[in-house]
Chain A
Amino acid sequence: MKVKKITIYILLLMLVFPLSGCGEQKQTDTFYAMGSFVSQTVYGADDTLFDSVKSDITTADEIITHKNDNSLLSLLNKEKIAVFDTDTYDMLYKAVDFCVNSGGIFDISLLSVSDLWDFESENPSIPKEEDIKAALQKTGYENIQFGENNTVTLKNDVSLDLGGIGKGYACDIAVRHYKKAEVSGIIAVGGSIGVNGAKPDGEPFNVGIRNPFSENTSDVFASLVLKSGFVSTSGSYEKCFVKDGVLYHHILDTKTGYPVETDLVSVSVVCDSGMNSDMLSTACFILGIENSKPLLEKYGAQAVFVTKDKKVFISEGLRELVTVFENYEVTYI
């Protein structure tokens, strides 16, 4: 009889202790880096985790931004040669490898062209055609050379812009910390998100996908269950302007130097690397639905495409993980 009583007590205590959140306290933190608002939520971490994540992301930002004249990337763009730390060197190497695999439709050496458009200025305007043509002569990832001792050299006057990588790279840094500390957590760097593990109640993290037709940044049209991994979104609704009824957005065609003409308004890519999800979302936006498939397959990634006429195309692998709320026509691909 005593054994049965003890069993009942043990069962009750098993019910109470997981709910008490012992060591599973929810903690949140916000800061600004990579030109974005950064928000973290972790469960059961010690006090030093947020500081470590913030410090490493801020340091990475200070190295790879081209908007600060004193950054190492700015030094590379100016002097055409620079020596990087191993992490940044490896990141640049992977980025160039992705440029190769994308067939050049994604290119980190477009700064001379994106500077002309300057989508973030007060009154962005359409650059002169001859200026775009001249700027295109100073682009091309094949001009980025990797030497010994983490040395990177730029040929033919090219300059690098890592805007299409930084947010995902920051997510990679944070999730590495979460894994090392063995805590579950989620980080959002602008529209890029990284997740490690599940919440203390066993539920996976739930990510909203922004409604590309709404100006309200909190509006979502679908939800994504993310059980560890990364998601990034590229869309024509950000960093854009309208001139004479034509929308000019920041995702540029590497061959023409003009915004990519596409039926898509947004692409979200889920994969096991933040940097890859960031680069893939841009690349898939440029490639379109059909042409994206080989690249997605190569990186083991899945995507959600939204077209201008409100059709949603979802990779088969996300069928059970993505729920579309709005009245959109959904096709699985």
Chain B
Amino acid sequence: MKILKRHDVMVMVCLLAVAALLYFYYYRPADNGSVVEIDYDGNRVAEVDFSQLAENEEKTFEINGVTIKVDREGAYFAESICKGQVCVKSGRVNKAGQTVVCLPQRVSIHIIGGSRYDGITG
């Protein structure tokens, strides 16, 4: 005697499919990022999908004394009026989860996506 009827199997397959979709939505692995969020004082100023930019295309953002450039390879602080220049020296970011902050000017860039790290100490 069969335990499961045909419609039982179909419902179960659907449940498994939902589980698989949810798994990939919530726990997709870390990867190279493609979207950069640019914030000023904790508020979103711009969001750019740099993977969609043309090969020589470059977007420039001037925010509170800093210049941020975004091209197909990622985003970076090109210039800043800050004293330490930590943001400029940090260079380009393009991996999911990477963040660079210009503390004195309160401007940050963050690559969206899952990261290996939930935080960085240092």
- Write the residues of chain A forming the contact surface with B, with a CB cutoff of 8 angstroms: 1, 4-5, 8-9, 12-13, 15-16, 19-21, 29-32, 35-37, 39, 41, 120-122, 186-188, 191-193, 195, 199-201, 205-212, 215-218, 220, 223-224, 231-233, 235, 266, 268
Contacts and interface: CB of A to CB of B under 8 A. Distances in A.
Contacts of B18: 16
B57 to A, nearest CB: 24
B122 A233 contact: yes
Interface in B98-117: 98-101, 103, 106, 108, 116-117
B10 interface: no
A217 B120 contact: yes
Interface string B69-106: 00000000000000110100111010100111101001
A23 B119 CA distance: 23
Given A186-B118, A207-B118, A232-B121, A201 B27 contact: yes
Contacts of A8: 3-4, 12
B42 A30 contact: yes
A15 B3 contact: no
A163 B3 CA distance: 68
A210 B120 contact: yes
B121 A209 contact: yes
Interface residues of B, number: 39
B contact face: mostly helix, strand, loop, or mixed: mixed
A207 B119 contact: yes
B54 interface: no
B22 interface: yes
B105 to A, nearest CB: 11
Contacts of A266: 122
B122 A209 contact: yes
Contacts of B121: 188, 191-193, 207-210, 224, 231-233, 268
The 10 A-B pairs with the shortest beta carbon distances in the complex, nearest first, are A210-B122, A208-B117, A19-B22, A215-B89, A188-B119, A37-B101, A205-B118, A218-B98, A208-B120, A12-B15
23 contacts: A4-B3, A15-B15, A16-B15, A31-B42, A32-B106, A37-B99, A37-B108, A188-B119, A191-B120, A201-B26, A206-B117, A207-B118, A208-B121, A209-B122, A211-B122, A212-B122, A215-B86, A217-B86, A217-B122, A218-B95, A223-B117, A232-B121, A233-B122
Contacts of B99: 37, 39, 218
A97 B68 CA distance: 45
A258 B22 CA distance: 56
A5 B119 contact: no
Contact of A235 (B83, B84, B93, B122): B122
B55 interface: no
Contacts of A20: 22
B90 A217 contact: yes
B90 A218 contact: yes
Contacts of B11: 9
Nearest to B11: A9
A326 B18 CA distance: 40
Contacts of B86: 215, 217
Nearest to B110: A30
B22 A21 contact: yes
A199 B12 CA distance: 27
B19 interface: yes
B116 A223 contact: yes
A32 B89 contact: no
Contact of B103 (A5, A12, A35, A39): A35
Contacts of B83: 120-122
Contacts of B53: none
Given A5-B8, A35-B103, A268-B122, A220 B117 contact: yes
